[in-house]
């Protein structure tokens, strides 16, 4: 990380010297101050690593709750607050309140903003009314509301500076993701893959809210901002109409590929990275073809939106393995040389390492040994299947067809990991990954599209892998070799974003509500504290008044709260079996609270 930052600083300086002004100098500078947490992802590289080291593996056992704050909302709380200077900016799920707290003045509420939104947006948000956080730049706080309104608030007063509508909830378009500021633009995505929404990323001018560009996941080249010659896929030009020619008829118009995950940015390359979600519907038989560019890693030029390279991880998805999880940018030694890598833990159970300059595939390996739908990705560059996962027919819902229940597919539709972001420590060279350890039965069937209505087309049931009872693991991963270094079992899926610190401690939350601290080298548990509700938020850290704090949102919900509240059943237990596995509702209840920890004075 240090190496990476240094090179970033140097090249930034070089760019400025060359006269090409960086509109967000301020943000790059702020993100280098570990005392603050200025982006929803911690930094542009999405490492979620902090150089703060007052809290160490030796003293973390003495951690105490320093202060708490209630958002007043009882829904799934994802994301993490920002800390800019002495101020903390905290968001909540629908109705999306924003609080500005003065950390220097007993965390007093300086202002609160709560938008008026039509509650009819609530039921078109598949899997809870979550919101993954705010962004800051240019004296403004940016909030992407559930109803897709992107609003810029004056960071000092909470007054609305500008506001723009990014989508139409009447068509099932909603927003759950955090906006991200890159240069002078605010980037936002869209949710609604279960409503036949066609995904897009849109860049708005940070000063005015004017739309600068919009890039769809599928459609004509003019919509996808894909250049048939210049945009590459595994080193080769993609050719014309790549966003329509793997779809039947005009199905791409309701093709999914939504963009609700995390965005990373490499200022040196001027490229942003993100993944697209599942193709609509979940019934693969109804949409023949590879369904490009759903399930795809995109590298786009931030100024123009033009795609530099693309890589589709799961062509013709048959299991709902959205590709939206975060892209972590780290420079790593592979094959004796330093590579500018992008590391991505996909829902499909594969951990990918790519060269982020050109999209070359370096590593693709299972980060949960139970993953069974594929025998692996073809890494042979001269093969016509280069880069494609080999699908096991037994677990292929396309192969088995409509009205057939394909059994024991691992992972389940919620993936070996969902949006809950991993962390990377440059000190250990390891990635710390919250995972789901859940398998499923999946049966696709016929559905018809109606605008603004669910467009799903499959039924599924979930359960832990056969012979196991833990539904999650927290693992350390070596992305250079594609190997698990250590793995801690968790009773439930780990649905909280990880934080890595220079103190040699890694933090994460659990669905029961525990904040846990483990040794970065060994995974040994060093501390745990049960917060008032299950944790699906991301752990962050900041320093105030010479003291390091660690904070996390509690508030069970999301896909995890829906799928796991009642517990999972064991399909092999036969008729009448009840609650074969633990139900989350026996461990925690709804909530909405920030809990902040520090060492005793």
The residues carrying an active-site annotation are: 320
167, 148 in Cβ contact below 8 A?
yes
Least distance to another protein from the beta carbon of 392, Å? Answer: 22
Q: Which two tokens stand for residue 145?
A: 């509301």
Please count the other Cβ atoms lying within 10 Å of the Cβ belonging to residue 304: 13
CA dist 553 and 555 (Å) reads 7
Task: Mark residues 401-420: x for contact with another protein by CB under 8 A, - for none.
Answer: ----x---------------
Least distance to another protein from the beta carbon of 451, Å? Answer: 9
Least distance to another protein from the beta carbon of 450, Å? Answer: 5
| DSSP 8-state assignment for residue 254 | G
The H or E element that residue 583 is part of is: none
Q: Is 392 in the site for another protein (CB under 8 A)?
A: no
Q: Which two tokens stand for residue 161?
A: 């500076």
What residues between 172 and 231 interact with another protein by CB under 8 A? 194
Of 18 and 575, CB closest to another protein: 575
Of 108 and 446, CB closest to another protein: 446
Q: Is 40 in the site for another protein (CB under 8 A)?
A: no
- Give the dihedral sign, CA 548/157/182/594: positive
Helices (H), 316-437: 397-400
Largest CA distance in the chain: 72
The H or E element that residue 205 is part of is: strand 200-205
- Return the closest-CA partner of residue 460 out of 318, 276, 257: 318
Of 11 and 453, CB closest to another protein: 453
Binding span for another protein by CB under 8 A among 208-216, 327-335, 344-352, 579-587? 579-587
Residues 6 or more apart whose CB falls under 8 angstroms from that of 387 comprise 234, 311, 361, 377, 378, 379
Q: Tell me the pairing of strands 547-554 and 593-598.
A: antiparallel
Of 76 and 243, CB closest to another protein: 76
Of 94 and 136, CB closest to another protein: 94
Q: Is 590 in the site for another protein (CB under 8 A)?
A: yes
The H or E element that residue 563 is part of is: helix 558-564
Of 218 and 447, CB closest to another protein: 447
Contacting residue, 83, 124, 215, 364, with another protein by CB under 8 A:
124
Looking from the CA of 127 toward its CB, the CA atoms found within 13 Å total 22
Binding span for another protein by CB under 8 A among 18-26, 122-130, 156-164, 470-478? 122-130
Residues 6 or more apart whose CB falls under 8 angstroms from that of 538 comprise 48, 78, 79, 80, 420, 421, 496, 497, 498, 499, 552, 553
Of 590 and 596, CB closest to another protein: 590
What residues between 70 and 109 interact with another protein by CB under 8 A? 73-76, 94-95
Please count the other Cβ atoms lying within 10 Å of the Cβ belonging to residue 288: 13
Phi first, then psi, for residue 586 (nearest 5°) are: -85, -5
Q: Is 26 in the site for another protein (CB under 8 A)?
A: no
| DSSP 8-state assignment for residue 11 | H
Least distance to another protein from the beta carbon of 285, Å? Answer: 11
Least distance to another protein from the beta carbon of 404, Å? Answer: 12
DSSP labels for 34-66? TT-B-STTSSTT---EE---SS-TTTGGG-EEE
Q: Which residue matches tokens 């904040």?
A: 515
What residues between 128 and 147 interact with another protein by CB under 8 A? 128
Least distance to another protein from the beta carbon of 196, Å? Answer: 11
CA dist 513 and 525 (Å) reads 15
Least distance to another protein from the beta carbon of 489, Å? Answer: 23
Of 387 and 457, CB closest to another protein: 457
Output the CA angle 272-277-278, nearest 5 degrees. 155
Least distance to another protein from the beta carbon of 374, Å? Answer: 24
Binding span for another protein by CB under 8 A among 15-23, 119-127, 485-493, 541-549? 119-127
CA dist 260 and 146 (Å) reads 12
Residues 6 or more apart whose CB falls under 8 angstroms from that of 401 comprise 285, 444
Least distance to another protein from the beta carbon of 68, Å? Answer: 19
Residues in the interface with another protein (CB under 8 A) total 56
Q: Is 66 in the site for another protein (CB under 8 A)?
A: no
Of 45 and 460, CB closest to another protein: 460
Q: Which residue matches tokens 């945009």?
A: 231
Phi first, then psi, for residue 14 (nearest 5°) are: -65, -45
CA dist 100 and 83 (Å) reads 10
Of 445 and 529, CB closest to another protein: 445
Task: Mark residues 548-577: x for contact with another protein by CB under 8 A, - for none.
Answer: --------xx---xxx-xxxxxxx-xxxxx
- Return the closest-CA partner of residue 343 out of 325, 360, 329: 329
Of 336 and 574, CB closest to another protein: 574
CA dist 410 and 365 (Å) reads 14
What residues between 314 and 373 interact with another protein by CB under 8 A? none
- Give the dihedral sign, CA 356/541/77/84: negative
Least distance to another protein from the beta carbon of 122, Å? Answer: 4
Least distance to another protein from the beta carbon of 570, Å? Answer: 8
Least distance to another protein from the beta carbon of 279, Å? Answer: 16
Of 107 and 175, CB closest to another protein: 175
Task: Mark residues 426-465: x for contact with another protein by CB under 8 A, - for none.
Answer: ---------------x-x-xxxx-x--xxxxxxxxxx---
Task: Mark residues 248-287: x for contact with another protein by CB under 8 A, - for none.
Answer: ----------------------------------x-----
What residue ranges bind another protein (CB under 8 A)?
73-76, 94-95, 119-120, 122-124, 126-128, 194, 282, 405, 441, 443, 445-448, 450, 453-462, 556-557, 561-563, 565-571, 573-579, 584-585, 590
């Amino acid at each position: 990380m240090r190496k990476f930052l240094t090179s970033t600083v140097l090249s930034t300086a070089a760019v400025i010297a060359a006269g090409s002004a960086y509109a967000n100098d301020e943000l790059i500078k702020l993100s280098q101050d570990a005392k603050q947490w200025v982006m929803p992802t911690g930094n542009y590289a999405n490492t979620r690593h902090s150089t703060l080291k007052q809290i160490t593996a030796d003293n973390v056992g003495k951690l105490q709750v320093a202060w708490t704050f209630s958002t007043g909302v009882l829904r799934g709380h994802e994301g993490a607050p920002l800390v800019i200077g002495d101020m903390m900016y905290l968001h909540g799920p629908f109705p999306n309140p924003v609080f500005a707290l003065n950390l220097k003045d007993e965390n007093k509420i300086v202002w609160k903003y709560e938008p008026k939104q039509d509650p009819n947006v609530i039921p078109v948000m598949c899997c809870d009314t979550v919101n993954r956080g705010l962004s800051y730049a240019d004296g403004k706080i940016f909030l992407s509301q559930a109803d897709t309104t992107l609003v810029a608030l004056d960071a000092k007063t909470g007054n609305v500076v500008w506001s723009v509508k990014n989508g139409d909830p009447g068509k099932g378009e909603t927003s759950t993701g955090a906006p991200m500021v890159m240069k002078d633009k605010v980037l936002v995505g869209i949710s609604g893959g279960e409503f036949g929404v066609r995904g897009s990323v849109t860049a708005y001018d940070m000063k005015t809210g004017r739309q600068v560009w919009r890039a769809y996941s599928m459609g004509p080249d003019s919509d996808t901002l894909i250049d048939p010659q210049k945009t590459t896929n595994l080193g080769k030009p993609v050719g014309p109409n790549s966003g329509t020619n793997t779809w039947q008829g005009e199905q791409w118009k309701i093709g999914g590929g939504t963009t609700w995950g995390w965005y990373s940015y490499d200022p040196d390359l001027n490229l942003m990275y993100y993944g697209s979600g599942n193709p609509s519907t979940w019934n693969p038989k109804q949409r023949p073809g590879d369904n490009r560019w759903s399930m795809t890693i995109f590298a786009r030029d931030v100024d123009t939106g033009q795609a530099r390279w693309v890589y589709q991880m799961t062509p013709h998805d048959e299991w709902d393995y959205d590709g939206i999880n975060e892209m972590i940018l780290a420079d790593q030694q592979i094959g004796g040389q330093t590579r500018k890598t992008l590391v991505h833990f996909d829902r499909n159970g594969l951990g990918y390492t790519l060269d982020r300059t050109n999209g070359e595939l370096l590593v693709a390996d299972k980060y949960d040994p139970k993953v069974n739908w594929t025998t692996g990705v073809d890494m042979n560059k001269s093969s016509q299947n280069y880069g494609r996962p080999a699908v096991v027919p037994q677990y292929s819902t396309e192969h088995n067809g409509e009205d057939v229940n394909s059994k024991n597919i691992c992972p389940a539709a919620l993936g070996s990991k969902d949006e809950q972001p991993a962390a990377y420590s440059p000190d250990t060279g390891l990635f710390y990954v919250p995972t789901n350890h859940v398998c499923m039965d999946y049966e696709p069937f016929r559905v018809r599209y109606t605008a603004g209505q669910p467009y799903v087309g499959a039924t599924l049931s979930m359960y832990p892998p056969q012979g196991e009872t833990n539904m999650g693991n927290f693992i350390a991963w070596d992305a250079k070799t594609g190997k698990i270094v250590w793995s801690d079992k968790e009773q439930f899926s780990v649905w909280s974003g990880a934080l890595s610190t220079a103190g040699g401690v890694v933090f994460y939350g659990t669905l029961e509500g525990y904040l846990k601290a483990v040794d970065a080298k060994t995974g040994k548990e060093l501390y745990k504290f049960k917060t008032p509700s299950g944790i699906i938020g991301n752990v962050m850290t900041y320093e105030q008044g010479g003291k390091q704090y660690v904070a996390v949102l509690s508030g069970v919900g999301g896909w995890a709260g829906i799928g796991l509240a009642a517990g999972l059943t064991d399909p092999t237990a036969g008729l009448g079996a009840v609650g074969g596995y633990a139900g989350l509702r026996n461990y925690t209840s709804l909530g909405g609270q920030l809990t902040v920890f520090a060492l005793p004075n």
